[in-house]
Structure 1
Amino acid sequence: MKSITWSVALLLTLALAAFVQPDSEINKKGKWVKLFDGKTLNGWKKWKGGEITKWKVEDGAMVLAEKGGGDLLTEGQYGDFELELEWKISEGGNSGVMYHVQEGQKYCCPYSTGPEIQVLDDAKHPDSFKGADGNHKAGSLYDLLPPNDLTVVKPAGQWNKMRLVIKKGKGESWLNGKKVVDFPTKGPEWDAMVAKSKFKGWDGFAAFDKGHIALQDHGDKVWFRNIRIREL
């Protein structure tokens, strides 16, 4: 009887130890991590280096105050992930969020390698009316797939919530709580889409399974806040 009681006590002790043990790297995977602390630009760097200028922090948001700040990249790189952020675009403005971005002398810019989720004033920016079937609209997988609902985006000057999921060869673009684009990230279907886009023949485009998250300087004022990510 004592041996049974002792065994039960041992099992309970081990279970409790497992429950209260400090986070390991395995435990950390899947937990949300802030990419922006709301106060500084720590954790971000300028495309191909140099001092970050013209990107500011105002009222808890990361702001491209004027043209010429350059694109910003996360210091870390991510493969499969879930990204959430809020963005606000100026009237007539254009920007974007890219993933799996690589740096290298042969690449001109983040969109050389990283597919882009469009950030746009759909009502007034000229790019809104280009492309096929709306694949330049806010929330689109830029120049590849349009959003399935053009009414969910909020106008210039208002906050939009974006969610991007990349997992096991598939991607999802969400805008203000609605999934607006479902897409493959590799394979024959992806290759066929790229072949019909402006990215046809681009060396390195969407060729990497891991890379930086990038925020685009397209020359227009744009705000980002509540940026967080979790690896999947």
Structure 2
Amino acid sequence: MKKLLMGALVLGTVISTSAVKAQQLNTLSAKEKKNGWQLLFDGKSTTGWHTYLKETASPAWKISDNALVLDQEAKKNGAPGGDLVTDGEYENYELSVDWKISEGGNSGIIFSVHEDPAFEQSYLTGPEMQVLDDARHSDGKINKHNSGDLYDLKKSSKNAVKPVGQWNTAKIMKKDGHLTLWLNGVKTVETTIGTPEWDALVANSKFKGWKGFGKYPKGRIALQDHGNVVSYRNIKIRVL
């Protein structure tokens, strides 16, 4: 009986701890609210988001375990794919988002996205912070294509990604064109859009000659559908 009671107490503690952690997801602390942070994902719905060039969010983006999850099975059953983008546009801000990629998966956080039928995809205008299973996806072998990189533009100063299946925290700060990326608390990339350095980065990338790439200071934030299961949560922004 004593062992049963102890077991019940331990189990109750685990359940209680899990419940507390779940309650803390997709919320803002009093300090964050005071400092101007806003939630972009409430943990329950796709409110505030829509599929790029569509009015609403595709059902392929579902809510599971307090996260936005791209469900590839739903796409096989007819749900349209596509990048998920914010309803709002942002220019100077600090963005924080947790992500978890599936085995062999690929995705990205794309920003300064100009939504216009002239550009069929979000990546045609928006630079990207790479989200990847570096060890198993073929992009992991390509320079400037790893997690935390400014995709195809600038390589991370340090490899800071966690093993596939674990949650990572990315941060993007953009202020008057000055761009800084962090992954799991490690600064990975720093550059300034519109400078000679930036022009050189673009000229030496796949984006060379792309009409609208990196040309829009203000734009939407996108979560990329690259054909793999990916999860995002704790998405919050502070306008600077």
Mapped to 2, the partners of 1:185 and 1:48 lie a distance apart of 25
Q: Give yes or no for the alignment of 1:53 onto 2:21.
A: no
2:154 is aligned to: 145
1:29–1:49 Cα change, 3 Å: farther
Identical pairs, percent: 51
Partner of 2:237: helix, strand, or coil?
strand
**Are 1:30 and 1:231, in contact at CA under 8 Å, matched by a contact in 2?**
no
Of 70, 75, 97 in structure 1, the residue corresponding to residue 109 of structure 2 is: 97
- Using the size of structure 1 for normalisation, the TM-score is 0.84
Mapped to 2, the partners of 1:50 and 1:184 lie a distance apart of 32
Equivalent residue runs for 1:21-40 within 5 Å: 31-40=36-45
Equivalences, count: 201
Mapped to 2, the partners of 1:123 and 1:217 lie a distance apart of 20
- Using the size of structure 2 for normalisation, the TM-score is 0.81
CA distances 1:87-144 after superposition (whole Å, capped 9, x unpaired): 00000000000111011122120000000000000000001112xxx30000100000
Partner of 2:139: helix, strand, or coil?
helix
Mapped to 2, the partners of 1:163 and 1:125 lie a distance apart of 23
1:197 is aligned to: 205
- Shift in Å, 1:186: 1.4
Q: Give yes or no for the alignment of 1:88 onto 2:97.
A: no
Q: Report the more deviating stretch, 63-72 or 94-103.
A: 63-72
1:116 is aligned to: 128
Partner of 2:131: helix, strand, or coil?
strand
1:116–1:29 Cα change, 3 Å: farther
Q: Report the more deviating stretch, 93-102 or 62-71.
A: 62-71
**Are 1:29 and 1:231, in contact at CA under 8 Å, matched by a contact in 2?**
no
1:125 is aligned to: 137
Of 218, 221, 237 in structure 2, the residue corresponding to residue 229 of structure 1 is: 237
Q: Report the more deviating stretch, 186-195 or 205-214.
A: 186-195
1:155 is aligned to: 163
Equivalent residue runs for 1:4-23 within 5 Å: none
Mapped to 2, the partners of 1:177 and 1:105 lie a distance apart of 36
Pairwise CA RMSD of aligned residues?
1.4
Runs of 4+ off more than 3 Å = none
- Shift in Å, 1:69: 2.3
